Amino acid sequence: MSQPATKPGAVRIVEVASEDADQRIDNFLMRHLKGVPRSRIYRILRRGEVRVNGRRAGPDYRICAGDKVRIPPVRTAASGAGGPAPVRPGLEAAILYEDHRYLVLNKPSGLAVHGGSGVSHGAIEALRALRPQARFLELAHRLDRETSGCLLVAKRRSALRAVHELLRSGGVEKRYLALVMGDWQGGPRRVDAPLRKNQLRGGERMVRVDPTGKTAQTRFRPLTAYGQATLMEADLGTGRTHQIRVHGAHCGHPIAGDDKYGDEAFNRTMRSLGLRRLFLHAHSLAFTEPDTGREIHVSAPLAPDLRAVLDTLEKARRPAPRPIEARGGS
């Protein structure tokens, strides 16, 4: 049974500190209205209930040091879809790296990176619930909900600005492991195929290769061939939505377990081998801090369920042992 909703408080006027400057106001409000779904944040922005220096502000407005933000009272549920994010068991153990500026989480498959679009809570809300004393925790990039692995979180506004600049300039190396359909031929390959978002199949978001789309580049490198499938490493040159999944399918090698862009028959075969989710894992993340020159390199091991699928494929590709012919007696 859901708990009664908490009563809204009074209007608050929050002055933006220099450390919080240059972020979008929707992200700023998510921190000050903990437990409120992102859809609700957008609603109060559209209605003009949020004011910056006495004026309406859209969700893409970037706040400045000294801005005075009017935050209206918002009713939230004590539990359920609008309630505060729960502390997820095992989340602390999933933190792969942490210093005073950054945190890297080994995000499990099935966990969205943030709430919204029918998901009440995501990884960032769960981290904030785990660290209620943290003044600043923001996603530095995104991963698909079905994708597991390295997720970078900034603990300071200056760190977020620095890593965003690195992402724009290609200074962050992100490598993924993907199990794809078929026997990959020809060694490493770079796929340059522009991508465009569409709304298809009952409003579900889809991404297609389209010459009018945005530039997208993925470098694929085969690691292990299993005959019916190949384990690949994918290195992103750009970070478009569903990029590896769409580029793999475009090459004729869709990713195992991909219900959106994959091959149904191949997915059935992989399910028979124990695969219950998308086989796409962000296995490493590396960059050099521009202000300190410090190198950060983090890797996330494959989860046991994905490793078990590879073990099964490995056993299947080994030739069956031949019986030793009996030798005649003396």
- Whether 144 sits among the annotated catalytic residues: the reply is yes
Taking alpha carbons only, the member of 61, 36, 58, 38 closest to residue 49 is 58
Phi, psi angles (nearest 5°) of residue 31: -75, -35
- The strand ranges marked E within the chain are 5-6, 12-15, 51-52, 55-56, 68-71, 76-77, 95-98, 102-107, 138-139, 148-154, 173-181, 189-192, 195-200, 204-209, 217-225, 229-236, 280-288, 295-299
Q: What radius of gyration, in Å, describes the C-alpha atoms of the chain?
A: 23
Contacting residues for 283 by C-beta, under 8 A, at least 6 apart: 149, 150, 175, 176, 177, 233, 299, 300, 301, 302
Residue reference for tokens 């945005």: 214
Between the alpha carbon of residue 157 and those of residues 88, 117, 129, 257, the distances in Å are: 25, 26, 19, 37
Strand partners, 218: 191, 236
From the candidates 144, 183, 210, 291, which is the catalytic residue? Answer: 144
Three-class DSSP category at 118: coil
Any idea what the Cα angle at residue 109 is, between residues 294 and 206, rounded to 5°? 100
Q: What tokens were used for 23?
A: 């972020």
Residue reference for tokens 């603990």: 155
Q: Are 137 and 101 in contact (CB under 8 A)?
A: no
Question: What is the SS3 string spanning 252-273?
Answer: CCCECCCCCCCCHHHHHHHHHC
Residue ranges of alpha helices (H) inside 142-199 are 157-169
Annotated catalytic residues are 144
